[in-house]
Chain A
Amino acid sequence: GENVEQHPSTLSVQEGDSAVIKCTYSDSASNYFPWYKQELGKGPQLIIDIRSNVGEKKDQRIAVTLNKTAKHFSLHITETQPEDSAVYFCAASIGYNTDKLIFGTGTRLQVFP
Chain B
Amino acid sequence: DAGVTQSPTHLIKTRGQQVTLRCSPKSGHDTVSWYQQALGQGPQFIFQYYEEEERQRGNFPDRFSGHQFPNYSSELNVNALLLGDSALYLCASSYSQGAYEQYFGPGTRLTVT
Residues in A lying within 8 Å of B, measured CB to CB: 4, 6, 32, 34, 36, 41-46, 49, 51, 89, 91, 93-94, 98-106
Contacts and interface: CB of A to CB of B under 8 A. Distances in A.
B102 A94 contact: no
Interface string B97-112: 0011111111100000
B38 to A, nearest CB: 11
Contacts of B105: 43
Interface residues of B, number: 23
Contact of A98 (B4, B56, B101): B56
A34, A98, A99, A103: most-surrounded residue (chain B CB, <10 A): A99
A43 B42 contact: no
Nearest to A89: B42
- Interface residue SS majority, chain A: strand
Contacts of B94: 99
Interface of B: 4, 31, 33, 40-45, 48, 56, 58, 90, 94, 99-107
Given A105-B41, A105-B42, A43 B106 contact: yes
30 contacts: A4-B42, A6-B42, A32-B100, A34-B100, A34-B102, A43-B90, A43-B104, A43-B106, A43-B107, A44-B43, A45-B104, A49-B101, A51-B99, A89-B42, A89-B43, A93-B100, A98-B56, A99-B31, A99-B48, A99-B94, A99-B100, A100-B33, A100-B45, A100-B48, A100-B56, A101-B43, A101-B102, A105-B41, A105-B42, A106-B42
